[in-house]
Amino acid sequence: MNGWQLLGLIIASALLWIGYVRFKDRHQPEPPWRLVFAFALGILAWALALLGYKTLDALQVPDIKFNERLWTALYCFGIVGPLEEGAKVLLAYLFVFRWREYDEPMDGFVYAASLSLGFASAENFYCTTGSGWLYQLGYAVALPIAHVLFSAIWGLGIGHAQFCVSRRSRRILWQIGSVALAMFAHGLYDFILYAYQAAFATSGLVLVLWVFAVWRLGLLRKRALAAMPAQARQDQPAPRA
């Protein structure tokens, strides 16, 4: 598969998932241009993460060693998860969470997912160019859903904290906890993938977790809509820092 075909495959995969995210947010949909902006921020987040990896290479920090599980664990949990999710969260705080359109807990998921799809698309193109078509196809299918799942953890957590938690100390704990959990989940995914070469196992695990997350998200959304009067649905509170 040449570069243009790979790019087309990645864009098609991203559009499919963005369409799905918009479908889940159909009750109060976000402006399409904001989702595109969030997607572009995801590409920038990937560039920041790549810069972090290049810096580590310059400092001669060893890469993942497949035959050394201890170092692989340290690398995945201490570098990969924090660096990649941290880059996404940083740009979300700098831009997304300041937008006027970010006005309800569900938006934390919507924008985090859009941002993560930009990240996954850039990583996909960078990592699979020149590889076999089967490898490229597997990445195009598995990578976006994995990144959306990790980002959904902090997106939902931060959205809940900013709109539903009144005490400042609890809001801070919710945000820190959700980001830390996303970093851990990302690190765990990569550790299983690299330490045990279990690509199909991790893909299956992500799929199961995603189905559960989507079911849970839909349930929470229905409960929130049922509990809110019509006027309250239109006048959502502003997020709290």
* CA–centroid distance for 14 within its chain: 13
pTM of the model: 0.86
In a domain, 196, yes or no: yes
Is 170 part of a structural domain of the chain?
A: yes
What mean pLDDT is predicted for residues 209-220? 70
Q: Which alpha helices (DSSP H) does 59-167 contain, by range?
A: 69-75, 81-94, 105-128, 133-164
Could you tell me the pLDDT band of residue 36, with boundaries at 50, 70 and 90?
Answer: very high
Please state, in angstroms and rounded to a whole number, the distance separating the CA atoms of residues 176 and 206.
23
| Residue 220 in domain | yes
Burial class (CB in 10 A: 0-12, 13-18, 19+), 106: buried
Residue 137 lies in a domain: yes
How many domains are there within the chain? Answer: 1
Compare 134 and 18 and report the one with higher pLDDT.
Answer: 18
Q: Please determine, for residue 203, whether its predicted confidence score (pLDDT) is greater than 60.
A: yes
pLDDT over 60 at 229, yes or no: no
Instruction: Output the average pLDDT for the chain.
Output: 84
Higher pLDDT, 21 or 58: 58
Please give the pLDDT value at position 227: 58
Question: How many Å apart are CA 239 and CA 107, to the nearest integer?
Answer: 11
The parent domain of residue 193 ranges over 3-234
pLDDT score recorded for residue 38: 96
Residue 137: its pLDDT value, please? 76
Domain membership flag for residue 33: yes
Which of 5-14, 62-71, 210-219 shows the lowest per-residue confidence on average (mean pLDDT)? 210-219
Residue 231: the pLDDT is 46
Neighbours of 77 (CB within 10 A): 17
The tokens describing 16, both together, are 């499919």
Tell me the average pLDDT across 219-239. Answer: 57
CA-based end-to-end distance of the chain: 46
Answer yes or no: is 239 within a domain: no
240: in domain: no
Instruction: Convert the pLDDT of each residue in 125-174 to its tens digit.
Output: 888 777 776 667 777 777 888 899 899 999 988 988 998 888 999 999 99
> % helix / strand / coil in the chain, to the nearest 5?
80, 0, 20
pLDDT digits (tens, 9 = 90+) for 41-96: 999 999 999 999 999 999 999 988 777 899 999 999 999 999 999 999 999 999 99
